[in-house]
Structure 1
């Protein structure tokens, strides 16, 4: 075996792409250099460059010859005839052999038995490019030129180096081409930072990252034949607020797993035309995933399918058939090895229950907004490590509540400003595009604490499992309505949802207002307003009791009214709002009495929350246990 130092600089048929491929392969097979016999499978990062990797592999096994030895290095293409498969089986009988596989290729079990190892090659980064160019051509490459080389297609690079053109001229031409690209031609995203990022290098994904890394390990074991496909997760639902990076997560997951990524969505499939065209387009995506196995099929915004239970109006038949078609495709991959379906949703509660049942998308993983540490890491990624570490920390502190997409947009705007000024991006470029962060004054912070402790205490008294309660210390001056605190309760999927259950939900929802009334003398407008406010949500729940669930004055159900304006609903039943208001008033009185009964512990918890900004559910329960007068109320009682 050889190292990069011993291969000839003027090896026939070699240009910079081949030297880059050679460096990647040489590094990967280093543990086998001293072995007289070996058979290795190499998964190359880009199938378009397979010819360059093949030349490099031949140079590895035949360092002293410039002739092609087809019996020692080959490309495996599962879509070709069995002749290729047979010739590779024969090649494994040689002393040394290398087989190249595409990223999405499943290694046949009989070939796997004949290989000492299957190694995934990494994409050359700027550091490797600089080292290879210096070794091959004796030139120190600045980082800007190295980044341009990383982004350059290898076929274009070979054309630029044709007819013995000096490498210094080639580098200059490539850098000018990169600089000359218009904003329409040149994306603001850094291909090196985003297109090739691995899940291992991502921050802020919590449980989703842990699941993805476990999946990558499972796929490695499955490829090696040590794990049954029955033991591999085949479907997951990712949920989270818009902009948290669900699509970027899917791309990084595919790279870490070494599999092909196929992307589909309701909108993409529906764009094909009528229902029949929609179903065919969806079927093609699933079929492509099966043919490319192992592969990940990413279905974006799966909540757009809706639920068959909520399908109403003239489009109901279309929606139901679309969901049935999706279920049929999900069932069709159950027995097909190598296909993982990853679906994303901003509103998981809107997904048809059949889609997430066992055997389909039976795992649900939530992706939260990035915390302080994760925001700093995201700024570092998009700024390509061009600033000091303390700068990323400052940006993170000033962007509380921002999603990954928000941060990317901020950096994109900062780069645009720097381009207009014809200079490199600076701290001030980023700072001026960050929203102004305003610290919440102490008196307002205490009001927020009273409100959230009201939710936490009343919910806990009514038997709802409290996860925790927390406050936000800063808000963005340029943004609209923002969350300044939250009480988080664990969802109970098997709780009996009768009328008492819904009355408890209404009481807990009104508890923030009630705590303000009891502890502060009155409530402000923070609990009222449109969709998402406490009073709006409580009103909607009462309407559902009256008009959907048959738990009010009558049994008639008008289906799901969640998207219908309240004034339209009241036109259908003029007496409805009076009944709704009566229920709200009754539950508000009930909630205030609970807060009054536990006033002392509420005030103590408010002080603690203002001081610590975050309390666990157990801390709240412990405080209630210490309050000797605390006694749970009968569910739904007035």
Structure 2
């Protein structure tokens, strides 16, 4: 290692952390600018890893060096200042888990790497380097898996490593104190107490009953669900759910992820690590194998040609392992992802992860329950409801962090926890002006009515009355439609989707005379999404003037196509104009119903889809699609 054996403040734990970090950042070591997120194997060792990361970036302790290492959830600056760090220096940021990596800046990291507990070989090599002594694999494993805070105390200067190992063995054999036992027990909450998980919670409780019946011999394993795919935005608690599920089912938990497997090295190491996780789950039956980041595997039909061989073999390896569980009793696989549409369909076929449940952001009641859970019944139900009202759009992980910071604030102030401690760490929210609320309501009702009139199943339509200052991207409103997985995706199907997508700006045009750039500006805006669908119609699905296809819609690069296909945008313009006019006509025919629903949405902020359908059911005519 490129570090002195006698570095000030360093002991064996720091050298172990240094070696782990060295391996993780090796691809960027010669770069003068990089930003790497490291997810630690044990969060309680974060101070040790922080010292090791700082030594990597500034080995000579030169005060002129601006490279930085810090703990992700303790940095007080804004995301803009974090991005400035990323642009101008070498940066290492430490996180507790993958869900703690802020979504707003995740894309700016060169990599997000899950560090493992140091391997036996690594520990043996470092002990030999420091102490000039070779140790066996059992001793190396003891050092790697010991509490590093105890290890740092045990490794005082001049103490032989044999005495250190003896001390650790005695400490490991000693009974846990009641306080430590209680902490471990409380670390994972049972599924019964968790809120905001909806269908996933119901499935988990059913699984717990089935596993209990199986364990007593009254139910065959063939009748037990063997897998589920959880999807949802980062921070909604997919990993927490897996832990609670394992506790409730009284099953061992094996945690794995695409990043953790990939961090092992090349494809052979990747597949070997994957096999190891499945093998561990088989040995620990009954067990739950939690696999995070399943969408990172991709789809064999749309993989990038440069990485096709690697990705296809990785997916095939996963399918082989999933199939290998058939006939082996006692293993349930819980997969997790942010974007289920990116997953190879073979992974979710019957017999694998065929059950799919989306975990959304918790509503107000769920947020109040999450506060109550993390506050351990401290403060009043009225306080919990007030906290919930101030945290609209937050995830369970966000709420857990708020409570953690509030407790820290109370400890430092040496006073009992108060509501003020909690509110101090709730990001400020500003009320949306009344005129803007009405504009947003018009826009969302436009989506809702056009979609409902075209036969789509509207679940809810909602608008936000406040916005949080800590988020650069957040919903000011949304119309949510249930997806019909059996729908025949013809040209008419896609034209209907384009019309619904343009329903928001069509409503603004009908009722306000114009629209603003919020729905028509950047990537992901309504107009951009409608344009992408129109391009796919013309150049991917063969549903336009030509039968030729440029390939899967997900891989189409709009800017690249425009440079080589001069006629494309003119054809797309015709589609967009036709569907925009069609959406306007639908809204004009239902003008009174639109305005009535806008008033209701402004007052109530959320309407069920059934109420929208009831308001427009008297008018059944729908304008022609055109673009034939």
- When normalised by structure 2's length, the TM-score is 0.69
Question: Given the alignment of the two structures, is residue 263 of structure 1 paired with residue 255 of structure 2, yes or no?
Answer: yes
Q: 2:504 aligns with which of 500, 512, 515?
A: 512
Following superposition of structure 1 onto structure 2, how do residues 411-450 of structure 1 map, counting pairs within 5 Å? 411-450=403-442
Partner of 1:336: 328
Contact 2:207 2:225 in 1 (8 A): yes
Q: How many residues align?
A: 461
Maintained 8 Å contact 1:303/1:351: yes
**Residue 411 (structure 2) pairs with residue 408 (structure 1):** no
Equivalent in the alignment of 1:545: 537
Distance across 2 between alignment mates of 1:470 and 1:154: 59
Deviation at 1:284, TM superposition (A): 1.5
1:335 deviates by: 1.4
CA distance in 1, matches of 2:506, 2:183: 50
The answer to whether structure 1 residue 632 and structure 2 residue 622 are counterparts is yes
Residue 419 of structure 1: CA displacement? 4.7
Contact persistence 2:271–2:314 (CA under 8 A):
yes
Q: 1:572 to 1:456 in 2, by over 3 A?
A: same
* CA–CA separation in structure 2 for the residues paired with 1:330 and 1:359: 9
Q: Residues 503 and 636 of structure 1 are in contact (CA less than 8 Å); yes or no, is this contact kept in structure 2?
A: no
Shift, 1:635, TM fit:
5.4
- The alpha-carbon deviation at position 636 of structure 1 amounts to 5.9
Q: Which residue is equivalent to 1:528? A: 520
**Structure 1 residue 564: deviation in Å?**
6.1
Corresponding position of 2:601? 609
Q: Output the CA distance in 1 between the equivalents of 2:211 and 2:518.
A: 49
What is the aligned counterpart of 2:452 among 447, 460, 474? 460
Which residue of structure 2 lines up, in the alignment, with residue 358 of structure 1? 350
After TM superposition, the structure 1 = structure 2 runs for residues 577-596 of structure 1, keeping only pairs within 5 Å, are 577-596=569-588
Show the counterpart of 2:195: 203
Q: Please name the residue that 2:563 is paired with.
A: 571
Supply the distance in 1 between the matched residues of 2:507 and 2:610 (Cα, whole angstroms).
20
1:217 paired with 2:214, answer no
Residues 237 and 511 (structure 1 numbering): CA distance in 2 closer, same or farther, change over 3 Å?
Answer: same
Provide, for residues 203-262 of structure 1, a one-character-per-residue CA deviation record: whole Å limited to 9, x for no partner. Answer: 111111111000000001111111111111101011111100000000000000000011
Q: Distance in 2 between matches of 1:160 and 1:496?
A: 63
**C-alpha RMSD over aligned residues:** 2.6
SS at match of 1:307: coil
Check the 8 A contact 2:193/2:373 in 1, yes or no: no
Tell me, in whole angstroms, the C-alpha distance in 2 between the residues paired with 1:402 and 1:155: 45
- 2:495 aligned partner: 503
Aligned to 1:106: none
Contact map agreement 1:470 1:485 (CA 8 A) in 2: yes
Compute the displacement of 1:308 (Å): 0.8
Measured after TM superposition, the shift of residue 274 of structure 1 is 1.6
Listed one character per residue, the Cα deviations across residues 127-184 of structure 1 (whole Å, up to 9, x for unaligned) are xxxxxxxxxxxxxxxxxxxxxxxxxx998598589xxxxxxxx99xx89xx9xxxxxx
Q: What are the Cα deviations for residues 96-120 of structure 1, in whole angstroms up to 9, with x where unaligned?
A: xxxxxxxxxxxxxxxxxxxxxxxxx
Q: 2:284 matched to 1:298?
A: no
Q: Note closer, same or farther for the CA distance 1:439–1:406 as it changes in structure 2 (3 Å cut).
A: same
Question: How far apart, CA to CA, are the structure 2 residues paired with 1:286 and 1:636?
Answer: 54
Contact 2:210 2:219 survives alignment (8 Å):
yes
1:486 match: secondary structure: strand
Q: CA deviation at 1:390?
A: 2.4
User: SS at the partner of 1:227?
Assistant: coil
SS in 2 for 1:494: coil
Residues of 2 paired with 1:481 and 1:286: CA distance?
A: 38
1:501 and 1:635 in contact (8 A); partners too: no
CA spacing shift, 1:337–1:499, aligned 2, 3 Å:
same
Q: In 2 relative to 1, CA 519–332 (structure 1 residues): closer, same or farther, beyond 3 Å?
A: same
Change (3 A) 1:157 1:322: closer
Consecutive unaligned residues of structure 2, counting only runs of 5 or more, are 1-167
Q: Secondary structure at the match of 1:309?
A: coil
Pick closer, same or farther for the CA change 1:499–1:411 going to 2, 3 Å.
same
Q: What's the CA shift for 1:440?
A: 2.4
**Rounded Cα–Cα distance in structure 1 between residues aligned with 2:279 and 2:331:** 10
**Residues 564 and 387 (structure 1), Cα distance of their counterparts in 2 relative to 1, 3 Å cut:** farther
How many Å apart are 1:485 and its aligned residue?
Answer: 1.8
CA drift at 1:268: 1.1
> Are residues 492 and 637 of structure 1, via their aligned partners in 2, closer, same or farther at CA, if it must alter by over 3 Å?
farther
2:358 is aligned with 1:369 = no
Asked whether the 8 Å contact 1:455–1:509 carries over to 2, the reply is yes
Contact 1:369–1:403 (CA under 8 A) maintained in structure 2: yes
Give the drift of 1:620.
1.8
Equivalent residue number for residue 48 of structure 2: none
Unaligned runs of 5+ in 1: 1-152, 162-169, 179-188
Distance 1:426 1:333, change over 3 A: same
On the 8 A contact 2:585/2:623 being kept in 1, the answer is no
Residues 591, 412 of structure 1: alpha-carbon distance in 2 compared, 3 angstrom cutoff: same
Decide whether the 8 Å contact of 1:501 with 1:636 is kept in 2. no
1:246 counterpart = 2:238: yes
Which structure: larger Rg?
1
- The correspondence of residues 158-197 of structure 1 with structure 2, limited to 5 A, is 159=174, 191-193=184-186, 195-197=187-189
Q: 1:372 to 1:192 in 2, by over 3 A?
A: farther
Deviation at 1:355, TM superposition (A): 0.8
- 2:294/2:336 contact within 8 Å kept: yes
State the distance in 1 between where 2:169 and 2:583 align.
68
Q: Displacement, 1:578?
A: 3.0
Deviation per CA, 1:556-600: give whole Å up to 9, x if none. Answer: 323245466533332232433333233212211121112112212
Cα separation, 2, equivalents of 1:558 and 1:277: 35
Deviation track 1:274-320 (CA, whole Å, cap 9, x = no partner) reads 21221121112112112211111111010111111111221011111
